[in-house]
A and B are shown apart, each in its own frame.
Chain A
Amino acid sequence: MKILLLKSQKFYCLIVLLLLGNFMYAQTIKGQVSDTLKNPIVYVNVILRDSLNKQIINYTTTDEQGRYEITVKEAGEYVISFNALSYQPKSEKIIFENYNLTWNVTLQEQATELNEVIIQTEKAIVVKKDTVILTVGAFLKGNETTVEDLLKNLPGFNVAADGTVKIGNQEIEKVMVDGDDFFKKRYQLLTKNLNADLVEKVEIYQKYSNNRLLKDIEESHKVAVNLKLKKDRKIDWFGNASLAYGLTTANRYQVRANAMRFGEVGKHYFLTNLNNIGESSGGESSIYISASDLNEVGAIGNREMARSLICLDAYELSLKKSRFNLNNQELLSLNSIFKINEKIKIITNGLFNWDEKAFVQQSIQNYSTSSVSFTNRESNQVNKTMFSGSGAIDFDYDISQKELLEIDATYKRGDENSNSQLEFNSVPIHQFLSDHNERFTYKTIYTNKLAAKKVLALSGVYIYEKKPQNYTLDTVVFGDLFPDVDVTSASQFSNNQMYFTGFEAHLLDRKKKDDLLELKIGFTNRIDFLKSHLDLIDFYGDEVTSDFKNDLKYTVGKLYANAKYKIKFGNYALNAKLDFNQLFNNFESYGNEESQSPLFVSPSLSLSYEINENNKLSLSYNNNFTNASLLQVFDDYVLTNNKDFLRGGAGLNQVNSSGLTLGYSLGRWTKSFFATARVSYLKSHDFFSTNTIIDPDYTLTNIIRINDSETLIGDVNIDRYLKFMTSNLKLKFSFFKSDFKNSVNNSELRLVQNTSYEYGFELRSAFDGLFNYNLGTKWNSSVVKTTSKFSNTNNTSFLDLNFNFNQNFNAEIQSERYYFGNFNTDKSYYFLDFETKYKIKKRNVTFTLTGKNLLNVKTFRERFISDIGTFSTSYRLMPRILLLGIDFSF
């Protein structure tokens, strides 16, 4: 019976144990810790470890009375230890069973002394100076498809709607893949296309320098990003495509596709873009837009180019380009990077661009000067076919830790054929222009780090370019210029051929306290050949070569040295620069030769003063000498369109100008009030002007060099955030005034005064949720005053509405109004566009619906004024387009 009871008790216990689990044993050990004098010790660490004294099971500290209580879940053997500063630690083995245990301890006092300096051997994160490495896995949210999405999730990154990536407020310089740079500033191509799950790490380089040896020495605010790919996911081809097709209009389309393959030795990126909806794909110009900053290391020769004299379709409108760009473009870009070995890398780029463009315009030109007054009427349709192809090869050689060699070679050629049906004062003229261009550039940059903060860069460059043009007119209106010939038609051949060679040594020396000294010494030599001849065809079909011909060689040699010093003291920063230029000009034409070797010294100085956080003042002064270019020196007339002739003839000359600029800013961009004001005064001690003979049937323009012209420019911009309407108000005011002189029909030099004002405002909201707006208006009024006076008053207004229905569905409506106050009729033009996007996240597919020029405005007319008359021109626009599109990855 007793046994049975025991058994049932045990059974009962077991059930309770099973039901309650470990709670059954949630018993405690408690006790008191005291010193040898029986005084309680407070805040002693009490740690319960397993029997092997390894794993900490539980821990607590003693209270104000030296008492502790520690919970134990399971019976068994434990080690309990008591630790307190200035006491000898004590560890004891205890066997804990199913009851509360009391365990009092006495700790021996012990003089404890710690004096440890911890040297860090292993670091959790790699933080090099100015470099941050982020492991991507930690930031993935699961919704990323492209690198762009990934960057959005990384701390500190901002990705704008157009794909511009910013870190803080600084736009990044480039995005590299495993240290290789395919696209330089055009990294959007990469970030918008590369799949995020290929990326393992993102490295961010701050104060980035394109040349690693210039790091921390040159003045850099650049930021660059490097994507480190996962080792196992690099081999396959991958990419994406987007297609859009016109719904209402026949055969309007846009196709974009990308394909990539990233191997260990070779990396390839192919891209194509086909469209006839007026979009430009960025492929029109050369592959790499060279650094516009000519002060950069290796920038020598970046702006040297040959000139073409005739362009039948050059015009700039106040409209955005896609409205009047009647195109049919096909672009293909092929880029590869080959790693030959650890030190040698070869980058190749190929770009092919085909385009067909159409320009249709009509203009009325009212000439009015003291000597003549007449009106010309013109209507013109130009059809142009274009092809350009270019190939570039970069060779990068890391010679050693302190030496770098970079060799770039680029070859580009293109052909353009323009066919124009012109009607000039009811005379039909058929013009044909055939353009050809070829350019070869070769550049070597060798960089050597002489000391920790001192770098010497040696650059050498060779450029060859030619731009021959063949121009024919089946009817000529300028026959009066050639009384001896009965001219019916004409043709002109012209060609500018340019050879540029240059060498430069550039020393950058970063001093203590961060002052920077830059020294540059170099020699450049540019040789231009210009050949042109105008051939006239008379009534009988005989060809007569006119006197309007050039055959010349213009050589400009330049030996230069400049020194620049940047220093900062307190709230002041000073930049001082001194330029020495020794020129060697030589001009040869039909056996005549002229030479000149002038020396110029021009200083410039800029000072900025930060009065306090909210007030900044800057002042700069500079002096410039500009040498006459080919266009200012060639001898005889060249036809630049159906009736206009141009002649240089200013001789070997230089012009000198000085400028003074004062700037002030109040408040800060990040605060609710921010204002900037700037005034510049430019004095041209001498300048190139014109003497023009104007006749209804032709103009003859001569370049002349005369003295004294002045320009005054001022602008004020104010930003004020209006909290009550969650909107920002922008106020803009600008002012321009220039006085110069020219001559018309061999008159005395006459004063031309240009004055213009522009003022306007913009208001932009930042509401939460569905709706936002952006609106603005701008008035522009200008006056040109000579013997006569012309004026123009225009207004442009816009209203954009934005709707975000949800994260995957948004829409935008844009409207614009252009108003020309000086027209009698058709003063206003209205435009309306819209775009909507719907994204299916799961499938990585986005649908778009785009409407352009919904009001179907067919032509656009603008008015221009000058010192010789007023002109009104109307252009044909891209008609209404409604496009349905789809984007997807493969």
Chain B
Amino acid sequence: MSFSLVNILGTMPEIYLTFFGCVILILDTMIPNEKRSWLAYFTIASLIFAMIASYGLNGKGLPLYQGLYIIDPFSNFFKMIIYIAAIITVLFSLPYLDREDIHIGEYYAFILFSTVGMMVMVSAGDLITLFLGIELMSLCFYVMVGLKKGSHRSVEASFKYFLLGAFSAAIFLFGISFLYGATGTETISGIAAFVANPGSLKPMILLGIVLTLVGFAFKISAAPFHMWTPDVYEGAPTVVTGFMSTASKIAAFGVFLRVFWVSFSADKVDWNLLIVILSILSMLVGNLVALRQTNIKRMLAYSSIGHAGYASMALLQPNRESLFALMFYVFVYMFMTLGAFGIVLMLRKSGEEGEDISDLVGLHKRHPIAAFTMLVFMFSLAGIPPFGGFLAKFYVFFAVIHAGYAWLAVVGIVFAAIGAFYYLRIVMLMYMKDPESSVVFNASSMGRIGLLLTAGMTVFLGVYPTPFVEYIKSSLAIFIP
């Protein structure tokens, strides 16, 4: 392996973030406790720095390290989303961590390291590199989920996530080993070349496809591999939940697109049925179970399972429409989901988080702006125009019908109608009932910036998405001409 300058330069954003993560760990020991918020500013600055560096690399479809690592507009698009999600997460963290008494410097380092893990995932040109990325991300999340050491739920969630995550990683690795055994290579392009050859070893490749698919389904929390989601989302500190439910899922979708559409596009017929089953089950579980939830974090967890179902429908046909639909979907999804978690983590009642749905009752009376922001997220998640969530759903159904699965679109529509109810219920409780509990909405100025950013983008993406649509179109040009 040669360490030429091009390789180093191409991976500079990852190197920067790793370096800054280490700097944070050192700084943490030097600065006094009450100055810890400086670390948050430092984290945001380093994320923006890496973002600019990534932007500078845009448009160069470079296979680095002999094809192990790919820098192209497609991976850059996903990296941009991950950066933005990380920045918003840090914006939300500041008062929250102090109030929960978990404000430690390592938190910011973990945010940066997990970001690096996700960047490696979406840039991986090789299954082993991909596995390294997934593990780097997951290990950081295992720790962050258990950050509330004193909380029973948090520790339990961390342990559960770790065990199930280890299982899924093993299954994924098992799948890779089958693929390697069948094809003799782990690079994505090498596998693609082998699969396209009609004389390929079919059963082993199929087994490899199924096992790797299970690994991905676990990461995007698609049913029936969703069991960990509600418990982990509920137990984890809410900032971490927000970050996990957006960035890590989005990275997994990016990986999925690359691995499956490039490697296995010749075998498409074989895994399409699996995708159909995954998406229908996810929409079913996500939307129906969410109806019965009383904890808003659990409700949002099921809602995210449902959204994974909608988004997976766009994976069926490797063409421009599907790719655009998926990229637009994850882009909008990131803002609206992160924003909804942002509202939840700013609700406080007598020293703890207001995470029961009943805590939202009558929010409009006390905090009209917070209630209106939540209304925007809820209607957007339900897919009602003029918010971004509508266009996201629209493009998914557009792609599904284009792919010739009109019946699947009908199924999706039915679940969308059912799902609208629990989002509406939140709006109804906020606006149409009188307040009962003593919940206060407590936002810092950084939190307000985060909410403004997420809500503003949710509206903007529904009303005038043109600049972002152009950006996505230019990002997918290399992937699918």
Please say whether chains A and B are actual partners in one complex.
no
Q: What residues of chain A have their CB less than 8 Å away from a CB belonging to chain B?
A: none
